[in-house]
Amino acid sequence: MSDAQERKALLGPYVTLDGPDGCGKSSQASALAAWLAEEDVDVVHVREPGSTPVGEALRDLLLSNATGDLQPITEVLLFSAARAELMQRVIAPARARGAVVVAERCYLSTAVYQILATENPQPGVLDIRWFEDLTRRVHGACLPDAIFVLDVSADVSMQRRGNRVDDRIEARGEAYHRRVRDGYLLAAEREPRAHVFDSAKPFDVVQEQLRAVIRSLL
């Protein structure tokens, strides 16, 4: 094994749960974190944007209806800034001590919500290759081992959100959320770390499928 391979082998696994609003990722992530803690595994559960002081402040700004419209590129930069803080301050140190990191969302959310689902993007401004380069700089060597994409149709996701008050991004309407769902399926095909699960299935069935992947990484 090379030095780099040996260092990587010692890092704790980093898995993320991603998908459209209402796909069940927060409940699934909490159940995974509780299961790992019960198994006496050192586990760190985080969310994007958030889980650092700056990340939580950016979350409030990005999700508040009072913020109003932002340019898609502004959103890319703010979500990425929150991610950079989380990576350097929380995720990389947790992995270095061998902890398992369970994260809600990752760069795939930005690729989908801000780039693929944006209608009529300004040419030359939002470019997936530019975003991939930015993301490489944000993550450095600390990349997820697995990205669980919890797939649900826009109808199921709207039903699950029920009567909750929509935040600034949830409020973008049905057509946008259909593009989000399609965007995830497209992005997952291009993303070697992605595993797509049918999240319309019963909670426990999906949970068991996620645990099986995590077991293979431990």
Residues lying near ligand TYD in the complex (CB under 6 A): 21, 26, 47-49, 63, 79, 104-105, 109-110, 113-114, 169-170
Question: Could you tell me the smallest distance in angstroms from the CB atom of residue 198 to ligand TYD?
Answer: 19
**If 0-12 CB within 10 Å is exposed, 13-18 middle and 19+ buried, where does residue 215 land?**
exposed
Question: Could you tell me the smallest distance in angstroms from the CB atom of residue 23 to ligand TYD?
Answer: 8
Taking a C-beta distance cutoff of 8 angstroms, is the pair 135, 115 a contact?
no
Question: Could you tell me the smallest distance in angstroms from the CB atom of residue 127 to ligand TYD?
Answer: 16
How far is residue 215 CA from its own chain's centroid? 20
By C-beta, is 99 or 115 nearer to ligand TYD? 115
By C-beta, is 166 or 198 nearer to ligand TYD? 166
Question: Could you tell me the smallest distance in angstroms from the CB atom of residue 180 to ligand TYD?
Answer: 8
Is the backbone of residue 210 left (phi > 0), alpha (psi -120 to 50) or beta?
Answer: alpha
| CA neighbor of 216 nearest in space, from 42, 13, 3 | 13
Question: Could you tell me the smallest distance in angstroms from the CB atom of residue 171 to ligand TYD?
Answer: 10
Measured from each CB, the residue nearest to ligand TYD is 113
**Alpha helix ranges (H) inside the chain:** 3-10, 25-38, 53-63, 72-86, 92-96, 107-110, 128-139, 154-161, 174-190, 203-217
Q: Which residues contact 131 (CB under 8 A, 6 or more apart)?
A: 76, 107, 110, 111, 115
Which single residue is written with the structure tokens 């070697």? 192
Question: Could you tell me the smallest distance in angstroms from the CB atom of residue 211 to ligand TYD?
Answer: 21
By C-beta, is 41 or 63 nearer to ligand TYD? 63
Q: Please give the backbone phi and psi of residue 60, each rounded to the nearest 5 degrees, phi first.
A: -60, -45
